[in-house]
Amino acid sequence: MTSESEFSIADDWNALYIDGEWVGTEESIAVEDPSTRETVTEVPAATESDVDAAYDAAARSQSAWAETPPMRRETVIQEFARALETHHDEIVELLKSEVGGGQIMGETSMQIALDHAGEAATYPRRLQGQHKGSNIPGKENVVERGPAGVVTAISPWNFPLNLSLRAVAPAIATGNAVVLKPATNSAITGGLLFAELFEEVGLPDGVLNVVTGHGSEIGDRVAGHPESDVVTFTGSTPVGRGVAATAAENLATPVMELGGNNAHIVTANADLDGAIDAAVFGSFVHQGQVCISINRHVVHEDVYDDYVDRLVERAESLPTGSAHDPDTVVGPVIDDSQRDEMLDYVEESVDAGATLETGGGTVSLDDVDDSLVVEPTVLSDVTNDMPVACFEHFGPIAPVVPFSDVDEAIEIANDTEYGLSGSVHAGDEGTGKAIAERMDTGHIHVNDQPINDEAHVPFSGINASGMGGFNSNLILEEITETKWISIQHEPRDYPF
Q: Could you tell me which of 224, 201, 184 has the C-alpha nearest to residue 52?
A: 224
Return phi, psi of residue 254, to 5°. Answer: -90, 130
CA atoms within 13 A on the CB side of 458: 14
3-state secondary structure of 233: strand
Known catalytic membership, residue 257: yes
Q: Which residues contact 357 (CB under 8 A, 6 or more apart)?
A: 308, 311, 312, 378, 379, 380
CA distances (Å), 359 to each of 321, 344, 345, 375, 383, in order? Answer: 14, 13, 13, 5, 19
Instruction: Let me know: does 477 contact 496? Beta carbons within 8 Å.
Output: no
- According to DSSP, residue 229 is labeled S
- Alpha-carbon distance 172 to 153, whole Å? 11
Phi and psi torsions of 283, nearest 5° = -100, -30
Q: Which of 93, 98, 291, 478 is catalytic?
A: 291
DSSP-derived letter for residue 64 is H
Containing 446, the helix (H) or strand (E) segment is strand 445-446
Q: Which helix (H) or strand (E) holds 253?
A: strand 253-257
Which of 257, 375, 392, 478 is an active site residue?
A: 257
Angstrom distances, CA of residue 453 to CA of 368, 396, 423: 34, 20, 14
Distance (Å, rounded) from C-alpha 496 to C-alpha 309?
83
Catalytic residue flag (residue 390): no
- What's the rounded Cα separation, in Å, for the pair 419 and 398? 19
Question: Alpha-carbon distance 159 to 321, whole Å?
Answer: 19
Q: Catalytic positions, please? A: 257, 291
